[in-house]
Amino acid sequence: MSKIVIKDHLKEVPLDHFNPKKGTIHVFAREVFQKGNENADIFVYLQGGPGFASPRSAESLPAFKVLLSKYRLVLLDQRGTGKSDKIGPETCLSFSKDEDLAKYFTYFRADQIVCDVEYLREKVFKAKKIFLIAQSYGGFISFTYLSFFPQSIAGVLVFGGIPPLLENSVENIYDVLTNNIIKRNKEYYKKFPKDKTKIKKILAQLKNKPYQLPDGGNLTAERFLDMGMILGATGGINSLHNLLDDPFVNAKEKAISYFFARTSADRTSFETNPIYAVLHESIYCNAIASNWAAAKNLYSKKEFSLNSPNTFFYGETIRPSMFKDYAMLRPYKKAAEIIAKKADWGLLYHLDQLTKNTVPIEALVYQTDYYVDPTFSVNTSKVIPKLNITIDPKLQHDSIRTKGPEIVANALKKLLKRI
C-alpha cells in the first residue's frame, strides 16, 4: 500500500441545524487516503451505536483497506462522541435543570448528524456527491441521509443496519427484538447447560445483596444480566461462557469475587458512552415516544424473570433501573425519563422520499442478527427502490470487523456495477 495521508478536520457547526441561533458545537472527521488519491471520491464511514466514536485509524478496521486502494475515507466522530464535542458525565455540570439537559440530548440524533455530514461534504470536501459505508446504527443514519439529502449521495453500503421503517410502535419493535434475545439465550443454554446452576447462584447472591463497586455503582442481578449484550457478537456464546468460568472467591461458591464483579461491570459501554443509554430507544422514534419499550417487554416475558428456573440474559435493552445501578449514568436519570416520554420528535425518515429512492444501496442482512431484526430489514427493502439486500445465514452483527475485507469487497463490487 502506498503512503497513507491523514488530514484532521475539526469544524464548528450549529447545535441545531434547523435553528442555528441556538449555538454551536464542534464536529471532528479524519480524512484518510493513499498518496496520489487526494482528489478521489469519498466514502464516509458511519459507525454503529448510537453514541460511539469512529475507529481512530484505517488500520483498526481491516475492511477499510478495500476502500483505500481507490477512495478517500472519512472517519466521522458523530456529534457527542470522540474528538467531536462529546457528551460525558462532565456535560451534566453545564446544566442546572434536567429539562435543559434532556433538550440538549435531543440534538444528537440522526437528523442532526446527517446535517453535519452534509456541511462537511459541501464546505470542507467540496464534493458534489459522496458514498456512505455504514455499520449497524450507521445504516439507520444512512436512511435518514437518503430522506433529507438524496441528491448528495452516490451510493451506500450497509452492514447490519436497515431500520424498521414500516413499524410505527417502538414497543412492537422491542417485542420482536426481545424474542430474538430469547432465541439466542436458548442456544446458549443448549450449548452450556451446566452454566445454569452457576448463574442461579450468582443471581441469588446479587438479589440478596448487590455487589458495591468502587465507583459507587452496584452490580445488581439485573446489571449482571446485561452481560448478555455480548451474545450477539461472533463467538459471543463462547465468550459469555468463558467469562462465567470463575465467578467466585473460592470453591465454596458463597461469594462473588471482585475480579468477576469488575469484569462484569466492564462488559458494557453504557457509562463511557452515555448517548448509547439515554438516546438508544429514540433511534426508533419517528414522531412517537418510546416509553421504556425495552423494559416493558423484558418484564412482560417470563424468561427474563429473576425468579425463573433459567433466567435469560438481557440484550441491547435499556431500562430505568440502569440509571440507578450504573454510577456514571445517575446524572442522566431525570433527563432519560423525560426523553422516554417525549412524543414530539421530528421525523428521522421521510417515506415519501425513500419510496422513490434512486440511489443504489447494497445491504448485507444477517439472518441471525441479535440487534437488528432481519424480518424488519426485509420488509423495508420491499418498499425502497434501488435497495438490494443479501441475506447471510451465518454471519453475526459484528462481521464488518471479523470478515470485513471479504464482505466489503463483495458489496462494493455489486454497488459499482449498478452505478
Q: Do both 231 and 85 map to the same domain?
A: no
Q: Do both 145 and 261 map to the same domain?
A: no
C-alpha span between 59 and 6 (Å, rounded): 12
Q: Do both 53 and 151 map to the same domain?
A: yes
The string of pLDDT tens digits covering residues 101-144 is: 999 999 999 999 999 999 999 999 999 999 999 999 999 999 99
C-alpha span between 179 and 380 (Å, rounded): 20
Q: Exactly one of 280, 397, 398, 399 is catalytic; which is it?
A: 397
248: helix, strand or coil: strand
Residue-level pLDDT at 180: 97
- 288 or 59, higher pLDDT: 288
Q: Which of 11, 6, 98, 5 is nearest to 334 (CA)?
A: 98
Residue-level pLDDT at 267: 83
Residue-level pLDDT at 148: 98
Q: Do both 265 and 400 map to the same domain?
A: no
pLDDT at 352 over 90: yes
Q: Which residues of 113-129 are buried (b: 16+ CB within 10 A; e: fewer)?
A: bbbbbbbbbeeebebee
Rg (CA), the chain: 22
The string of pLDDT tens digits covering residues 386-397 is: 999 999 999 999
C-alpha span between 72 and 4 (Å, rounded): 10
Angle at 211 between CA 207 and CA 212, to 5 degrees: 135
Question: Is residue 73 classed exposed, middle or buried when 0-12, 13-18 and 19+ CB atoms within 10 A define those classes?
Answer: buried
Q: Do both 353 and 256 map to the same domain?
A: no
Average pLDDT over residues 253-257: 93
Q: In terms of residue numbers, what domain contains 331?
A: 170-341
Q: Exactly one of 94, 96, 245, 344 is catalytic; which is it?
A: 344
Average pLDDT over residues 199-203: 96
Q: Do both 25 and 155 map to the same domain?
A: yes
The string of pLDDT tens digits covering residues 163-187 is: 999 998 999 999 999 999 999 999 9
Could you say which of 316, 341, 366 is where a domain stops? 341
Annotation marks residue 397 as catalytic: yes
pLDDT band at 266 (very low <50, low <70, confident <90, very high): confident
C-alpha span between 159 and 411 (Å, rounded): 9
Query: Is the entire prediction scored with pTM above 0.85?
Result: yes
Annotation marks residue 381 as catalytic: no
Q: Do both 18 and 161 map to the same domain?
A: yes
What region, left, alpha or beta, does residue 127 occupy, with left being phi > 0 and alpha being psi -120 to 50 degrees?
Answer: beta
pLDDT band at 313 (very low <50, low <70, confident <90, very high): very high
Residue-level pLDDT at 268: 84
The mean pLDDT of the chain is 96
Question: Is residue 43 classed exposed, middle or buried when 0-12, 13-18 and 19+ CB atoms within 10 A define those classes?
Answer: buried
CATH of the domain at 145: 3.40.50.1820
Could you say which of 341, 364, 387 is where a domain stops? 341
Q: Do both 174 and 227 map to the same domain?
A: yes
Residue-level pLDDT at 260: 95
Q: Which residues of 242-280 are buried (b: 16+ CB within 10 A; e: fewer)?
A: eebeebbeeeeeeebeeebbeebbebbebbebbbbbbbb
For residue 131, the number of C-alpha atoms closer than 13 Å in the C-beta half-sphere is 22
pLDDT at 29 over 70: yes
DSSP state, 121? Answer: I
pLDDT band at 293 (very low <50, low <70, confident <90, very high): very high
State whether the Cα torsion 170-176-178-180 is positive or negative. Answer: negative
Average pLDDT over residues 372-378: 98
Residue-level pLDDT at 41: 98
pLDDT band at 1 (very low <50, low <70, confident <90, very high): low
pLDDT band at 60 (very low <50, low <70, confident <90, very high): confident
Question: Is residue 33 classed exposed, middle or buried when 0-12, 13-18 and 19+ CB atoms within 10 A define those classes?
Answer: buried
Average pLDDT over residues 273-290: 96
158: helix, strand or coil: strand
Q: Do both 57 and 158 map to the same domain?
A: yes
**How many domains is the chain partitioned into structurally?**
2
Average pLDDT over residues 90-96: 88
Residue-level pLDDT at 79: 98
194: helix, strand or coil: coil
Residue-level pLDDT at 92: 84
Q: Do both 149 and 79 map to the same domain?
A: yes
Annotation marks residue 344 as catalytic: yes
C-alpha span between 146 and 172 (Å, rounded): 25
Cell numbers given for 158: 450497509
Average pLDDT over residues 289-297: 97
Average pLDDT over residues 148-172: 97
pLDDT at 16 over 70: yes
Q: Do both 200 and 308 map to the same domain?
A: yes
Could you say which of 341, 371, 401 is where a domain stops? 341
Residue-level pLDDT at 37: 94
Average pLDDT over residues 33-58: 95
H helices of 244-292, in order, are 258-265, 274-278
pLDDT band at 223 (very low <50, low <70, confident <90, very high): very high
Q: Exactly one of 85, 111, 116, 136 is catalytic; which is it?
A: 136
Q: Do both 270 and 403 map to the same domain?
A: no
C-alpha span between 227 and 151 (Å, rounded): 42
C-alpha span between 104 and 107 (Å, rounded): 6
Please, which residues have CB within 8 angstroms of residue 21's CB and are 6 or more apart in sequence?
none
Looking only at the bridges linking them, the beta strands covering 4-14 and 130-135 are unpaired
